[in-house]
Structure 1
Protein backbone atom coordinates (compact mmCIF):
# COMPACT_ATOMS: atom_id res chain seq x y z
CA UNK A 1 0.00 0.00 0.00
CA UNK A 2 1.42 3.40 -1.02
CA UNK A 3 1.93 6.24 1.46
CA UNK A 4 -0.64 8.34 -0.40
CA UNK A 5 -3.25 5.59 -0.12
CA UNK A 6 -2.50 5.29 3.60
CA UNK A 7 -3.09 9.04 3.88
CA UNK A 8 -6.37 8.70 2.00
CA UNK A 9 -7.50 5.97 4.39
CA UNK A 10 -6.54 8.24 7.26
CA UNK A 11 -8.71 11.00 5.78
CA UNK A 12 -11.81 8.95 5.08
CA UNK A 13 -11.53 6.13 7.64
CA UNK A 14 -11.02 6.59 11.36
CA UNK A 15 -11.99 3.13 12.56
CA UNK A 16 -11.71 -0.10 10.59
CA UNK A 17 -14.91 -0.52 8.58
CA UNK A 18 -14.62 -4.26 8.92
CA UNK A 19 -16.87 -3.91 11.96
CA UNK A 20 -19.48 -2.37 9.72
CA UNK A 21 -19.10 1.13 11.27
CA UNK A 22 -18.77 4.17 9.02
CA UNK A 23 -16.60 7.00 10.41
CA UNK A 24 -17.79 10.48 11.29
CA UNK A 25 -15.71 11.84 8.42
CA UNK A 26 -17.29 9.32 6.06
CA UNK A 27 -20.75 10.27 7.30
CA UNK A 28 -19.91 13.92 6.60
CA UNK A 29 -18.76 13.00 3.10
CA UNK A 30 -22.04 11.17 2.53
CA UNK A 31 -24.03 14.23 3.62
CA UNK A 32 -21.95 16.38 1.28
CA UNK A 33 -22.73 14.11 -1.67
CA UNK A 34 -26.32 13.27 -0.81
CA UNK A 35 -27.37 14.52 -4.22
CA UNK A 36 -25.48 11.77 -5.99
CA UNK A 37 -27.36 8.65 -7.02
CA UNK A 38 -26.52 5.66 -4.82
CA UNK A 39 -25.34 2.47 -6.45
CA UNK A 40 -28.30 0.14 -7.10
CA UNK A 41 -28.36 -2.86 -4.83
CA UNK A 42 -28.19 -6.21 -6.63
CA UNK A 43 -31.54 -7.94 -6.94
CA UNK A 44 -31.42 -10.96 -4.63
CA UNK A 45 -32.75 -14.35 -5.64
CA UNK A 46 -36.34 -14.39 -4.26
CA UNK A 47 -35.76 -17.44 -2.09
CA UNK A 48 -32.50 -16.10 -0.62
CA UNK A 49 -32.26 -13.69 2.31
CA UNK A 50 -29.49 -11.18 1.54
CA UNK A 51 -27.97 -9.42 4.58
CA UNK A 52 -27.77 -5.63 4.67
CA UNK A 53 -24.56 -4.23 3.20
CA UNK A 54 -21.82 -2.81 5.40
CA UNK A 55 -18.68 -0.84 4.72
CA UNK A 56 -15.71 -3.06 3.90
CA UNK A 57 -12.02 -2.19 4.15
CA UNK A 58 -11.39 -4.25 1.02
CA UNK A 59 -13.73 -2.04 -1.02
CA UNK A 60 -12.41 1.13 0.62
CA UNK A 61 -8.98 0.08 -0.68
CA UNK A 62 -10.38 -0.36 -4.21
CA UNK A 63 -12.27 2.94 -4.27
CA UNK A 64 -9.57 4.99 -2.57
CA UNK A 65 -7.02 3.35 -4.86
CA UNK A 66 -8.98 4.69 -7.85
CA UNK A 67 -8.93 8.15 -6.29
CA UNK A 68 -5.19 7.83 -5.73
CA UNK A 69 -4.64 6.86 -9.38
CA UNK A 70 -6.64 9.88 -10.53
CA UNK A 71 -5.24 12.34 -7.97
CA UNK A 72 -5.26 15.88 -9.36
CA UNK A 73 -2.24 18.15 -9.24
CA UNK A 74 -2.01 20.87 -6.63
CA UNK A 75 -4.37 21.66 -3.79
CA UNK A 76 -7.70 20.04 -4.49
CA UNK A 77 -10.61 18.43 -2.68
CA UNK A 78 -8.43 15.70 -1.16
CA UNK A 79 -6.11 18.20 0.49
CA UNK A 80 -9.12 20.19 1.64
CA UNK A 81 -10.64 17.02 3.06
CA UNK A 82 -7.40 16.36 4.93
CA UNK A 83 -7.60 19.82 6.47
CA UNK A 84 -11.20 19.19 7.50
CA UNK A 85 -10.16 15.91 9.08
CA UNK A 86 -7.42 17.63 11.07
CA UNK A 87 -9.79 20.39 12.24
CA UNK A 88 -12.41 17.79 13.24
CA UNK A 89 -10.29 17.10 16.33
CA UNK A 90 -10.65 20.72 17.47
CA UNK A 91 -13.67 22.13 19.36
CA UNK A 92 -15.40 24.10 16.61
CA UNK A 93 -18.71 23.89 14.83
CA UNK A 94 -19.05 22.55 11.30
CA UNK A 95 -19.27 25.95 9.56
CA UNK A 96 -16.17 27.24 11.34
CA UNK A 97 -14.31 24.06 10.42
CA UNK A 98 -15.15 24.41 6.72
CA UNK A 99 -14.24 28.11 6.71
CA UNK A 100 -10.97 27.48 8.54
CA UNK A 101 -9.94 24.73 6.15
CA UNK A 102 -10.82 26.97 3.20
CA UNK A 103 -8.67 29.82 4.52
CA UNK A 104 -5.52 27.80 3.83
CA UNK A 105 -6.84 26.72 0.43
CA UNK A 106 -7.74 30.30 -0.50
CA UNK A 107 -4.15 31.37 0.07
CA UNK A 108 -3.19 28.99 -2.75
CA UNK A 109 -5.71 30.51 -5.14
CA UNK A 110 -8.37 27.84 -4.62
CA UNK A 111 -11.98 28.94 -4.95
CA UNK A 112 -15.13 27.26 -3.62
CA UNK A 113 -16.07 26.47 -7.24
CA UNK A 114 -12.73 24.74 -7.82
CA UNK A 115 -13.17 22.72 -4.63
CA UNK A 116 -16.69 21.70 -5.66
CA UNK A 117 -15.50 20.79 -9.18
CA UNK A 118 -12.64 18.77 -7.67
CA UNK A 119 -15.01 16.90 -5.38
CA UNK A 120 -17.30 16.28 -8.37
CA UNK A 121 -14.33 14.92 -10.31
CA UNK A 122 -13.65 12.33 -7.59
CA UNK A 123 -17.34 11.46 -7.45
CA UNK A 124 -17.17 10.67 -11.17
CA UNK A 125 -14.06 8.54 -10.56
CA UNK A 126 -15.96 6.58 -7.88
CA UNK A 127 -19.08 6.35 -10.07
CA UNK A 128 -16.89 4.90 -12.83
CA UNK A 129 -15.61 2.30 -10.36
CA UNK A 130 -19.21 1.55 -9.36
CA UNK A 131 -20.15 1.02 -13.03
CA UNK A 132 -17.19 -1.30 -13.59
CA UNK A 133 -18.01 -3.22 -10.41
CA UNK A 134 -21.67 -3.55 -11.44
CA UNK A 135 -20.59 -4.90 -14.83
CA UNK A 136 -18.28 -7.40 -13.12
CA UNK A 137 -21.07 -8.44 -10.74
CA UNK A 138 -23.51 -8.82 -13.64
CA UNK A 139 -21.00 -11.04 -15.43
CA UNK A 140 -20.59 -13.21 -12.34
CA UNK A 141 -24.36 -13.22 -11.78
CA UNK A 142 -24.90 -14.42 -15.35
CA UNK A 143 -22.13 -17.01 -14.98
CA UNK A 144 -23.06 -18.33 -11.54
CA UNK A 145 -26.82 -17.69 -11.45
CA UNK A 146 -28.21 -16.94 -14.90
CA UNK A 147 -26.73 -19.99 -16.60
CA UNK A 148 -27.88 -22.25 -13.76
CA UNK A 149 -31.37 -20.72 -13.86
CA UNK A 150 -31.50 -21.46 -17.59
CA UNK A 151 -30.28 -25.00 -16.91
CA UNK A 152 -33.02 -25.38 -14.28
CA UNK A 153 -35.64 -24.11 -16.76
CA UNK A 154 -34.34 -26.58 -19.37
CA UNK A 155 -34.45 -29.40 -16.80
CA UNK A 156 -38.01 -28.45 -15.83
CA UNK A 157 -39.02 -28.55 -19.50
CA UNK A 158 -37.31 -31.94 -19.87
CA UNK A 159 -38.99 -33.26 -16.72
CA UNK A 160 -42.37 -32.02 -17.97
CA UNK A 161 -41.84 -33.62 -21.39
CA UNK A 162 -40.73 -36.91 -19.84
CA UNK A 163 -43.65 -36.77 -17.41
CA UNK A 164 -46.01 -36.36 -20.35
CA UNK A 165 -44.20 -39.19 -22.11
CA UNK A 166 -44.54 -41.38 -19.01
CA UNK A 167 -48.27 -40.56 -18.81
CA UNK A 168 -48.66 -41.40 -22.49
CA UNK A 169 -46.71 -44.65 -22.10
CA UNK A 170 -48.72 -45.49 -18.98
CA UNK A 171 -51.93 -45.07 -20.98
CA UNK A 172 -50.51 -47.20 -23.78
CA UNK A 173 -49.40 -49.88 -21.30
CA UNK A 174 -52.88 -49.87 -19.75
CA UNK A 175 -54.43 -50.18 -23.21
CA UNK A 176 -52.07 -53.06 -24.03
CA UNK A 177 -52.96 -54.74 -20.72
CA UNK A 178 -56.67 -54.33 -21.50
CA UNK A 179 -56.13 -55.81 -24.97
CA UNK A 180 -54.11 -58.63 -23.45
CA UNK A 181 -56.85 -59.43 -20.92
CA UNK A 182 -59.45 -59.36 -23.67
CA UNK A 183 -57.32 -61.72 -25.77
CA UNK A 184 -56.91 -64.05 -22.77
CA UNK A 185 -60.70 -64.09 -22.36
CA UNK A 186 -61.13 -64.76 -26.06
CA UNK A 187 -58.56 -67.58 -25.85
CA UNK A 188 -60.42 -69.10 -22.89
CA UNK A 189 -63.69 -68.97 -24.82
CA UNK A 190 -61.99 -70.44 -27.89
CA UNK A 191 -60.41 -73.23 -25.84
CA UNK A 192 -63.78 -74.10 -24.30
CA UNK A 193 -65.45 -74.11 -27.72
CA UNK A 194 -62.68 -76.17 -29.35
CA UNK A 195 -62.42 -78.65 -26.51
CA UNK A 196 -66.22 -78.95 -26.34
CA UNK A 197 -66.35 -79.57 -30.06
CA UNK A 198 -63.57 -82.15 -29.79
CA UNK A 199 -65.34 -83.83 -26.87
CA UNK A 200 -68.62 -83.90 -28.76
CA UNK A 201 -66.83 -85.31 -31.79
CA UNK A 202 -65.17 -88.03 -29.71
CA UNK A 203 -68.46 -88.86 -28.01
CA UNK A 204 -70.17 -89.15 -31.39
CA UNK A 205 -67.26 -91.10 -32.76
CA UNK A 206 -67.28 -93.51 -29.83
CA UNK A 207 -71.02 -93.96 -30.11
CA UNK A 208 -70.95 -94.53 -33.85
CA UNK A 209 -67.94 -96.81 -33.88
CA UNK A 210 -69.46 -98.66 -30.94
CA UNK A 211 -72.58 -99.30 -32.93
CA UNK A 212 -70.59 -100.46 -35.95
CA UNK A 213 -68.45 -102.67 -33.77
CA UNK A 214 -71.56 -104.14 -32.15
CA UNK A 215 -73.02 -104.84 -35.59
CA UNK A 216 -69.79 -106.53 -36.65
CA UNK A 217 -69.92 -108.74 -33.61
CA UNK A 218 -73.56 -109.63 -34.26
CA UNK A 219 -72.87 -110.35 -37.93
CA UNK A 220 -70.08 -112.65 -36.97
CA UNK A 221 -72.25 -114.22 -34.34
CA UNK A 222 -75.54 -114.60 -36.15
CA UNK A 223 -74.70 -114.90 -39.82
CA UNK A 224 -72.90 -118.21 -40.15
Structure 2
Protein backbone atom coordinates (compact mmCIF):
# COMPACT_ATOMS: atom_id res chain seq x y z
CA UNK A 1 0.00 0.00 0.00
CA UNK A 2 1.32 3.49 -0.79
CA UNK A 3 2.34 5.87 2.03
CA UNK A 4 -0.34 8.39 2.96
CA UNK A 5 0.25 11.54 1.00
CA UNK A 6 -1.46 14.92 0.83
CA UNK A 7 -4.73 14.54 -1.01
CA UNK A 8 -5.03 10.75 -0.67
CA UNK A 9 -8.26 11.23 1.24
CA UNK A 10 -9.67 13.06 -1.76
CA UNK A 11 -8.40 10.28 -4.04
CA UNK A 12 -10.24 7.74 -1.91
CA UNK A 13 -13.36 9.89 -2.17
CA UNK A 14 -13.02 9.98 -5.93
CA UNK A 15 -12.78 6.18 -6.11
CA UNK A 16 -16.28 5.83 -4.70
CA UNK A 17 -17.90 9.15 -5.65
CA UNK A 18 -17.63 10.26 -9.26
CA UNK A 19 -16.80 13.89 -8.45
CA UNK A 20 -15.52 14.43 -4.93
CA UNK A 21 -15.91 18.21 -5.33
CA UNK A 22 -19.67 17.84 -5.90
CA UNK A 23 -22.02 17.33 -2.92
CA UNK A 24 -23.14 13.72 -2.67
CA UNK A 25 -26.48 13.14 -4.35
CA UNK A 26 -29.15 11.50 -2.29
CA UNK A 27 -29.85 7.93 -3.36
CA UNK A 28 -33.55 7.03 -2.98
CA UNK A 29 -34.08 3.92 -0.89
CA UNK A 30 -36.44 2.36 -3.44
CA UNK A 31 -34.03 2.16 -6.40
CA UNK A 32 -34.30 -1.43 -7.72
CA UNK A 33 -31.16 -3.50 -7.33
CA UNK A 34 -30.26 -5.40 -10.51
CA UNK A 35 -28.73 -8.80 -9.83
CA UNK A 36 -26.54 -10.61 -12.35
CA UNK A 37 -28.36 -13.41 -14.13
CA UNK A 38 -25.87 -15.95 -12.88
CA UNK A 39 -25.90 -14.68 -9.29
CA UNK A 40 -26.32 -17.45 -6.73
CA UNK A 41 -28.93 -16.71 -4.10
CA UNK A 42 -27.66 -16.96 -0.57
CA UNK A 43 -29.68 -18.79 2.08
CA UNK A 44 -30.69 -15.42 3.53
CA UNK A 45 -31.04 -12.53 1.11
CA UNK A 46 -29.01 -9.47 2.14
CA UNK A 47 -31.51 -6.68 2.92
CA UNK A 48 -31.32 -3.60 0.71
CA UNK A 49 -30.28 -0.63 2.88
CA UNK A 50 -32.77 2.18 3.20
CA UNK A 51 -32.00 5.87 3.61
CA UNK A 52 -29.61 7.81 1.40
CA UNK A 53 -25.91 8.24 0.74
CA UNK A 54 -24.76 11.05 3.01
CA UNK A 55 -21.79 13.38 2.36
CA UNK A 56 -20.90 13.38 6.06
CA UNK A 57 -20.53 9.59 6.09
CA UNK A 58 -18.73 9.55 2.73
CA UNK A 59 -16.04 11.81 4.20
CA UNK A 60 -15.98 9.73 7.38
CA UNK A 61 -15.32 6.48 5.48
CA UNK A 62 -12.73 8.15 3.24
CA UNK A 63 -10.85 9.39 6.32
CA UNK A 64 -11.15 5.95 7.92
CA UNK A 65 -9.68 4.18 4.87
CA UNK A 66 -6.99 6.83 4.47
CA UNK A 67 -5.88 6.18 8.05
CA UNK A 68 -5.83 2.42 7.37
CA UNK A 69 -3.70 2.83 4.20
CA UNK A 70 -0.34 1.07 4.59
CA UNK A 71 2.94 1.41 2.59
CA UNK A 72 3.15 -0.37 -0.76
CA UNK A 73 0.80 -0.72 -3.75
CA UNK A 74 -2.42 -2.50 -2.90
CA UNK A 75 -6.14 -2.40 -3.61
CA UNK A 76 -6.28 1.41 -3.59
CA UNK A 77 -3.55 1.79 -6.20
CA UNK A 78 -5.30 -0.83 -8.31
CA UNK A 79 -8.55 1.04 -7.82
CA UNK A 80 -6.83 4.21 -9.04
CA UNK A 81 -5.58 2.38 -12.14
CA UNK A 82 -9.06 0.95 -12.68
CA UNK A 83 -10.58 4.40 -12.45
CA UNK A 84 -8.22 5.67 -15.14
CA UNK A 85 -9.81 3.15 -17.54
CA UNK A 86 -13.11 5.05 -17.50
CA UNK A 87 -13.93 6.61 -20.82
CA UNK A 88 -11.77 4.21 -22.88
CA UNK A 89 -14.79 2.30 -24.10
CA UNK A 90 -13.59 -0.98 -22.65
CA UNK A 91 -15.88 -3.62 -21.24
CA UNK A 92 -15.77 -4.39 -17.54
CA UNK A 93 -13.54 -7.45 -17.97
CA UNK A 94 -11.08 -5.55 -20.21
CA UNK A 95 -11.01 -2.64 -17.76
CA UNK A 96 -10.09 -4.92 -14.85
CA UNK A 97 -7.43 -6.70 -16.92
CA UNK A 98 -5.91 -3.45 -18.23
CA UNK A 99 -5.89 -1.97 -14.71
CA UNK A 100 -4.13 -5.11 -13.47
CA UNK A 101 -1.44 -4.72 -16.13
CA UNK A 102 -1.03 -1.05 -15.19
CA UNK A 103 -0.85 -1.96 -11.50
CA UNK A 104 1.94 -4.47 -12.10
CA UNK A 105 3.79 -1.96 -14.28
CA UNK A 106 3.86 0.59 -11.45
CA UNK A 107 5.65 -1.94 -9.23
CA UNK A 108 2.68 -3.68 -7.71
CA UNK A 109 2.61 -7.34 -6.71
CA UNK A 110 2.48 -9.92 -9.48
CA UNK A 111 -0.24 -11.97 -7.77
CA UNK A 112 -3.82 -10.83 -7.20
CA UNK A 113 -3.62 -12.07 -3.62
CA UNK A 114 -2.41 -8.66 -2.45
CA UNK A 115 -5.52 -7.05 -3.96
CA UNK A 116 -7.88 -9.54 -2.34
CA UNK A 117 -6.09 -9.44 1.02
CA UNK A 118 -5.91 -5.65 1.20
CA UNK A 119 -9.52 -5.25 0.04
CA UNK A 120 -10.61 -7.71 2.76
CA UNK A 121 -8.59 -5.71 5.31
CA UNK A 122 -10.39 -2.52 4.32
CA UNK A 123 -13.71 -4.34 4.59
CA UNK A 124 -12.68 -5.40 8.10
CA UNK A 125 -11.90 -1.78 9.00
CA UNK A 126 -15.29 -0.69 7.66
CA UNK A 127 -17.00 -3.57 9.48
CA UNK A 128 -15.44 -2.65 12.82
CA UNK A 129 -16.46 0.96 12.35
CA UNK A 130 -20.03 -0.11 11.56
CA UNK A 131 -20.09 -2.32 14.66
CA UNK A 132 -18.99 0.62 16.80
CA UNK A 133 -21.49 2.91 15.10
CA UNK A 134 -24.36 0.50 15.73
CA UNK A 135 -23.44 0.28 19.42
CA UNK A 136 -23.54 4.08 19.58
CA UNK A 137 -26.92 4.02 17.84
CA UNK A 138 -28.28 1.50 20.37
CA UNK A 139 -26.98 3.59 23.28
CA UNK A 140 -28.52 6.74 21.79
CA UNK A 141 -31.83 4.92 21.37
CA UNK A 142 -31.70 3.74 24.98
CA UNK A 143 -30.78 7.22 26.27
CA UNK A 144 -33.13 9.30 24.13
CA UNK A 145 -35.90 7.05 22.88
CA UNK A 146 -35.94 5.12 26.15
CA UNK A 147 -36.65 8.31 28.10
CA UNK A 148 -39.45 9.19 25.68
CA UNK A 149 -40.91 5.70 26.01
CA UNK A 150 -40.86 6.00 29.80
CA UNK A 151 -42.70 9.34 29.54
CA UNK A 152 -45.14 7.73 27.10
CA UNK A 153 -45.79 4.92 29.58
CA UNK A 154 -46.35 7.37 32.44
CA UNK A 155 -48.80 9.43 30.38
CA UNK A 156 -50.71 6.32 29.29
CA UNK A 157 -50.97 5.17 32.91
CA UNK A 158 -52.12 8.65 33.99
CA UNK A 159 -54.74 8.69 31.22
CA UNK A 160 -55.95 5.24 32.27
CA UNK A 161 -56.31 6.52 35.86
CA UNK A 162 -58.17 9.62 34.65
CA UNK A 163 -60.50 7.48 32.54
CA UNK A 164 -61.17 5.30 35.58
CA UNK A 165 -61.95 8.41 37.64
CA UNK A 166 -64.21 9.72 34.87
CA UNK A 167 -66.03 6.38 34.77
CA UNK A 168 -66.45 6.46 38.56
CA UNK A 169 -67.74 10.04 38.44
CA UNK A 170 -70.11 9.12 35.61
CA UNK A 171 -71.41 6.19 37.69
CA UNK A 172 -72.03 8.55 40.62
CA UNK A 173 -73.74 11.06 38.34
CA UNK A 174 -75.99 8.29 36.99
CA UNK A 175 -76.79 7.16 40.56
CA UNK A 176 -77.64 10.75 41.53
CA UNK A 177 -79.86 11.15 38.45
CA UNK A 178 -81.71 7.98 39.38
CA UNK A 179 -82.18 9.18 42.97
CA UNK A 180 -83.31 12.60 41.73
CA UNK A 181 -85.97 10.87 39.65
CA UNK A 182 -87.13 8.95 42.71
CA UNK A 183 -87.17 12.14 44.81
CA UNK A 184 -89.22 13.96 42.19
CA UNK A 185 -91.80 11.16 42.33
CA UNK A 186 -91.75 11.16 46.13
CA UNK A 187 -92.20 14.94 46.24
CA UNK A 188 -95.26 14.71 43.99
CA UNK A 189 -96.72 11.83 46.00
CA UNK A 190 -96.06 13.40 49.39
CA UNK A 191 -97.35 16.80 48.28
CA UNK A 192 -100.59 15.22 47.02
CA UNK A 193 -100.98 13.20 50.22
CA UNK A 194 -100.39 16.23 52.45
CA UNK A 195 -102.74 18.34 50.37
CA UNK A 196 -105.44 15.65 50.58
CA UNK A 197 -104.96 15.43 54.35
CA UNK A 198 -105.21 19.20 54.65
CA UNK A 199 -108.43 19.25 52.65
CA UNK A 200 -109.86 16.51 54.89
CA UNK A 201 -108.82 18.52 57.93
CA UNK A 202 -110.40 21.69 56.58
CA UNK A 203 -113.63 19.87 55.72
CA UNK A 204 -113.82 18.25 59.16
CA UNK A 205 -112.92 21.53 60.83
CA UNK A 206 -115.67 23.28 58.90
CA UNK A 207 -118.17 20.64 59.99
CA UNK A 208 -117.26 21.07 63.67
CA UNK A 209 -117.13 24.84 63.37
CA UNK A 210 -120.50 24.92 61.66
CA UNK A 211 -122.08 22.62 64.30
CA UNK A 212 -120.72 24.64 67.21
CA UNK A 213 -121.78 27.95 65.69
CA UNK A 214 -125.21 26.52 64.94
CA UNK A 215 -125.53 25.36 68.53
CA UNK A 216 -124.30 28.73 69.80
CA UNK A 217 -126.90 30.55 67.72
CA UNK A 218 -129.60 28.30 69.08
CA UNK A 219 -128.44 28.84 72.64
CA UNK A 220 -128.61 32.57 72.13
CA UNK A 221 -131.99 32.21 70.52
CA UNK A 222 -133.73 29.76 72.83
CA UNK A 223 -132.10 30.22 76.18
CA UNK A 224 -132.62 33.55 78.07
Give the TM-score normalised by the residue count of structure 1: 0.70
1:17–1:57: 8 Å Cα contact kept in structure 2? yes
Are residues 1:11 and 2:15 paired? yes
Shift in Å, 1:208 = 0.5
Aligned-residue Cα RMSD (Å) equals: 3.3
Relative contact order, CA 8 A, sep 6+: which one is greater? 2
What are the superposed Cα offsets for residues 104-155 of structure 1, whole Å, 9 maximum, x if unpaired?
A: 36x4556422321211111111122223333344455556656545645654
User: Judging changes above 3 Å, is the alpha-carbon distance between structure 1 residues 100 and 156 closer, same or farther for their aligned structure 2 residues?
Assistant: same
Aligned to 2:173: 173
Task: State the SS of the aligned residue for 2:84.
Answer: helix
What are the superposed Cα offsets for residues 201-221 of structure 1, whole Å, 9 maximum, x if unpaired?
A: 122112112211221221122
1:18–1:57: 8 Å Cα contact kept in structure 2? yes
User: Judging changes above 3 Å, is the alpha-carbon distance between structure 1 residues 62 and 110 closer, same or farther for their aligned structure 2 residues?
Assistant: farther
Task: Measure the CA separation in 2 of the matches of 1:135 and 1:77.
Answer: 29
2:26–2:53: 8 Å Cα contact kept in structure 1? yes
The one of 53, 56, 59 equivalent to 1:55 is 53
Which stretches in structure 2 are left out of the alignment for 5+ residues?
1-5, 28-41
Tell me the number of residue pairs that the alignment of Structure 1 and Structure 2 aligns.
198
Are residues 1:68 and 2:66 paired? yes
Task: Measure the CA separation in 2 of the matches of 1:7 and 1:181.
Answer: 89
Aligned to 1:194: 194
Which is richer in helix?
Answer: 1
Task: Measure the CA separation in 1 of the matches of 2:190 and 2:88.
Answer: 114
Which stretches in structure 1 are left out of the alignment for 5+ residues?
22-34, 42-51
Task: Measure the CA separation in 2 of the matches of 1:137 and 1:14.
Answer: 29
Task: Summarize the alignment of residues 149-160 of structure 1 with structure 2, pairs less than 5 Å apart.
Answer: 151-152=151-152, 155-156=155-156, 158-160=158-160
Task: Measure the CA separation in 1 of the matches of 2:110 and 2:23.
Answer: 32
Task: State the SS of the aligned residue for 2:24.
Answer: helix
Task: Measure the CA separation in 1 of the matches of 2:117 and 2:108.
Answer: 16
Task: Summarize the alignment of residues 1-224 of structure 1 with structure 2, pairs less than 5 Å apart.
Answer: 3-15=7-19, 16=22, 18-20=24-26, 41=49, 53-88=51-86, 90=88, 93-104=94-105, 107=107, 111-141=111-141, 147-148=147-148, 151-152=151-152, 155-156=155-156, 158-224=158-224
Shift in Å, 1:173 = 1.4
User: Judging changes above 3 Å, is the alpha-carbon distance between structure 1 residues 13 and 40 closer, same or farther for their aligned structure 2 residues?
Assistant: closer
Shift in Å, 1:62 = 1.0
What are the superposed Cα offsets for residues 5-33 of structure 1, whole Å, 9 maximum, x if unpaired?
A: 11222333223462347xxxxxxxxxxxx
Task: Measure the CA separation in 1 of the matches of 2:169 and 2:105.
Answer: 87
